Copies of this chain bind each other. A is one copy, B any other.
């Protein structure tokens, strides 16, 4: 059969961070073929304007649609925050999942006192997207957000268990902890790599890992729309990036948790 079920899931991010979502998808949906696009030439998006992010997003989605994907996963909080509607417009009626919707849903299920913390890039925080997604389902929830622009470079430097990272996290978390939150959304795909350190700094918090929650939401959407791949004969993974910078292989494999094969550089826009 050449069924739609065998077509790949398209996953995209501004760079390498979305590979944490791919990793979670591989574990949750081992039959699914995946095409990943990371815009490594133009990363980071977290400091760019809405206009520029929408333009770049349109280029990426167009590219993935050419790969005949059956569903789209926005594995970048910044894109989900400012360009989700653009993705939906381009996607027609195929399922579109994103890290913010999935993270907001999981946070609402986790919180007991309705005080939720969110850490993310500056653009994601300023977009207020998590608060809007959470409030649309429960207006009585209080959301406390903190921009953490240093955490991405610290993860990429590999200082996952370093005193500098610990002090930085402590400083960023201080105002959020003061608000008595019981749940913390890791609102950037880089942050799951800091889970052990953040757990040590804030052991009482329940952490929402957007990679895992997005994989779960994708699984639900595929089963609901009868798009899940029933075949067990080994999934195919393809990785496209707009640049292959220094140390990309090393950093990518740290995020993916396995070796990064079938990697190709393509030019967009």
Contacts and interface: CB of A to CB of B under 8 A. Distances in A.
Contact of A52 (B41, B122, B159, B167): B41
A52 B243 contact: yes
Interface string A250-269: 00000000000000000001
Nearest to A245: B47
Contacts of A164: 150, 164, 167-168, 171
Contacts of A149: 153, 156-157
16 contacts: A41-B52, A43-B47, A47-B246, A48-B245, A52-B243, A122-B246, A123-B246, A126-B246, A149-B156, A149-B157, A150-B153, A153-B153, A163-B167, A164-B164, A164-B167, A164-B168
Given A47-B245, A163-B167, A164-B171, 8 more contacts: A40-B48, A48-B243, A52-B243, A122-B247, A126-B246, A149-B156, A149-B157, A152-B153
A: contact size bracket: 20 to 34
A89 interface: no
**A122, A163, A246, A269: residue with the most chain B Cβ atoms closer than 10 Å:** A246
Interface string A40-72: 111100011100100000000000000000000
Interface in A142-188: 149-150, 152-154, 156-157, 159, 163-164, 167-168, 171
A244 interface: yes
